[in-house]
Structure 1
Amino acid sequence: MEKATFAGGCFWCMVKPFDQWDGIHKVTSGYMGGTIKNPTYEQVKTGTTGHYEVVEIEFDSSVFPYDQLLEIFWMQIDPTDDGGQFHDRGDQYRTAIFYYNDEQRLIAEQSKKKLEESKKFTKPIVTEILQASEFYTAEDYHQDYYKKEPEHYKEDRKKSGRDEFITNHWD
């Protein structure tokens, strides 16, 4: 089992796109980066701790390769926005790919370069590629939010502008 960790804005919206494939064993909402240990949501949402809201994905790369995870990741975000994602603003909502080894780093760099060269976006791709640090699991009520609160999840996604962006840029 391998791990991949992505920051794509609000972690509620980043679970479902990964949580529906063979080879993906677990998707956990949490926090990475930052300056304090065991941060709480209340601390992270202030934008002052340096943490990103992330999803940690446990996957079997022989069934679902890392480069396919990256394809899904890119199609969930606006990679040109360095101030957050959609209606979620602040450093905690910035985008990033966190790598666990040199192979993941190289694949992520190649993937980003391919996206840049595609000219799909007129603005620069600002998503960072960073070495993974300690992962902190978010509070239970954040886990599998799209399953626990399906109506609120759908409404939040709709209001955020994320789905409209995805449709306009990827569909």
Structure 2
Amino acid sequence: MRLSILTFAALLLIACGPRDSTSANGSATAQTLTAGQEEATFAGGCFWCMVAPFVDLPGVVSVTSGYSGGKVANPTYEQVSTGSTGHAEVVQIVFDPKKVSYEKLLAIFWRSIDPTDAAGQFCDIGTQYRTAVFYHGDAQKKAAEASRDALAASGILKAPIATEITAASPFYPAEEYHQDYFRKQEMRYQMYRASCGRDSKLKQLYGAQAEAAHP
């Protein structure tokens, strides 16, 4: 049977990863925060899909894709994608808590992932695609634990929550071609997201509450 061009392209895009030439990533970075700003770090599988739910939210200053939670300094995408460095793909969000609360960010995070999947997320399998909340300080830890416990108690999910809640570790910005990928490579992003089944699974899990905010 001959596959259509669209179907063939979708199969090629089934994993979160570029076929572009390798680009250098950044060194470990502590976000430069102005007075009153805070940061949040979330792992939700492919980081391409975790920017859109947050980037245009009032009160969010920036969203940077990167790597965290690993044991290798200055990892490249190619290294992280092997699953051997211990890093997860993450987004680091700088926000103004006077305009958007950390609790609001957590609510969007949970509805943007499948927290019951311990093997990865959707079509992407491996520890680099695990879900996690990397908290910055005790207040974020308590808020993250409270939001997880509330979700577990709600009865919405039919399996235990596997998402880690752990202290923030060095954050390494991803290569430039990964930043705002959903806008830079809109067609490819849309095809990847659809072929991976992310939105259909989120709708199955959460119904109308699913956070499917993407162009």
Write the deviation string for residues 80-138 of structure 1: whole angstroms up to 9, x where unpaired. 00100000100000000000000000000000000000111111001010000110000
> Who is 1:167 aligned against?
203
CA distance in 1, matches of 2:158, 2:178: 34
Pick from 130, 144, 157 the counterpart of residue 193 of structure 2.
157
> Who is 2:47 aligned against?
11
Pick from 133, 138, 142 the counterpart of residue 97 of structure 1.
133
Higher Rg: 2
> Who is 1:46 aligned against?
82
Q: Counterparts of 1:91-170 in structure 2 under 5 Å?
A: 91-170=127-206
CA distance in 2, matches of 1:35, 1:125: 25
CA distance in 2, matches of 1:168, 1:119: 14
CA distance in 1, matches of 2:115, 2:156: 11
CA distance in 2, matches of 1:120, 1:22: 27
| Identical-pair percentage | 54
SS of equivalent to 1:18: helix
> Who is 2:71 aligned against?
35
Which structure carries more strand by proportion? 1
Any stretches of 5+ residues in structure 1 without a counterpart? Answer: none
Flag as ranges the 4+ runs of structure 1 deviating above 3 A. none
CA distance in 1, matches of 2:198, 2:111: 10
> Who is 2:21 aligned against?
none
Post-superposition shift, 1:169?
2.2
> Who is 1:20 aligned against?
56
Pick from 97, 103, 107 the counterpart of residue 71 of structure 1.
107
